[in-house]
Amino acid sequence: MTTPWEQFKTAARLEKTDKPPIAFIVDSPWLPGYAGIDTLDFYLRPDLWFDAYRSLLDRWPEVTWVPGFWVEYGMAIEPSAYGVQFFFHDDRPPSLEAVVTDPAHWANVPVPDVKEAGFMPLALRLYRYAEERLHAEGLGINMVVSRGPIVTACWVMGVSSFMTGLITHPKEIHKFLDNITTMIIRWIHAQLDVLRHPEGFMLMDDLIGMLSVAHYHEFVEPYLRRIFDEFEGIVRIYHNDMYCPHLNTVLADANFEVYQFSYEADILEARAQMGHRVALMGNIAPMQVCARETPEVIYRVTQMYLDKVAPGGGLILSLGGGISTGTPIENVEAMVQGWRDWNPAQADPNRETDPAILKYFNYREGSPSADTPRRERRTRRQTRRTRVEHR
């Protein structure tokens, strides 16, 4: 019998599947609540962490969990190698605070040792523990994760300092990004080396959406390509859930197989812009639909997405991001059941006619609702600070 991971790999290669696989990103914003435990216990007790992930395989065996058995402390692991300050909480992932914001300082720091720096050795040890337990059941971990160079730099030196530094200190920023990229490549290798059968990794970097196309080519593309080129031959997933359609065309050249993107993006437009060169993983709204709507609505939205997008190929059904904090279990079940019941032979992109459901296809924050004025004000504020342009 074909496993969910095998189906995922087939879709990632843009090969034909009976129907699109379904996959979810899950981690510490959602899993402690799902398991009924404190977030600190989720991080500190390997047995509880393992049991939370293991239960997903029994509850929803058809789903590919990306990455599954993910060792993470919120956003902390990669920035921890550079000495970022952390504040841990009982009910949510840790918050981070930059300590040094001067680009000149970061231009000359040594590349961290990924087997000794920050939380990295703890994560590697926990991966070994999980692999031993899973191996006893004939299972294993298929993929690992790293944050990307831009988001890591922003956590280490602060978003404002980094974005300003693109203009005021470009040479120093390049040196720091080169340092981080080297660290990320070593970090991914170190994680893959722990696994018995490594087959993929996910790179997460959504802050690139704040940059113009020109700045993408100058400050992002060389470093993304270094990372993805290093791991030719395994499944490479790029997660970027910031709304940035202006980058879709250039991102298609970054050399990854799967793109998970914002729920606000037009998935059909993204497919056209990227020229069917990557599989698209998404992009039902994680908060507005999966966390807040009723199971009936979620079921219908799921079937609507499959009706409209699956016939074009290259789809991995998912959310436009990870499962959000507080999402009810029955809502996840409704999405999975909608996928189970969908029949590709009966796909009809025009079957759903209810505006209350249709509004969630390519849902945007500005969609008409009672709080539209507030959302529009927020959108305008975000737009003003979204792109850093050459002047």
Assess if residue 298 is contained within a domain.
Answer: yes
Q: Report how far residue 5's alpha carbon sits from residue 234's, in angstroms, rounded to the nearest whole number.
A: 13
What pTM, to 2 d.p., does this model score? 0.92
Question: What's the CA gap between 87 and 92, in Å, rounded?
Answer: 10
How confident is the model over 99-124, as a mean pLDDT? Answer: 97
In which band, very low, low, confident or very high, does the pLDDT at 1 lie, cut at 50, 70 and 90? Answer: low
Enclosing domain of residue 235: 4-386
Q: Given this model, what pLDDT does residue 100 score? A: 95
pLDDT beyond 70 at 385: no
The full length of the chain comes to 391
Q: From residue 226, how far is each of 34, 80, 177, 276, 345 by CA, in Å?
A: 37, 22, 11, 22, 42
Residue 367 lies in a domain: yes
Mean pLDDT of 41-63: 97
**Residue 142 · residue 198 · CB < 8 Å:** yes
Computed over every residue of the chain, the mean pLDDT equals 92
pLDDT at residue 181 greater than cutoff 70 = yes
Which CATH number is 258's domain given?
A: 3.20.20.210
Query: Structural domain tally of the chain?
Result: 1
Residue 391 lies in a domain: no
Tell me the C-alpha distance between 172 and 177, whole Å: 9
* 366 pLDDT more than 70: no
d(CA 162, CA 154): 6
pLDDT on residue 84 = 96
pLDDT digits (tens, 9 = 90+) for 130-176: 999 999 999 999 999 999 999 999 999 999 999 999 999 999 999 99
pLDDT band (50, 70, 90) for residue 362: confident
238, β-bridge pairs = 203, 259
Q: Is the pLDDT of residue 371 over 80?
A: no
For range 126-131, the mean pLDDT: 96
- Any domain includes 382: yes
What's the confidence (pLDDT) of residue 372? 38
Of the chain, the percentage scoring pLDDT greater than 90 comes to: 91
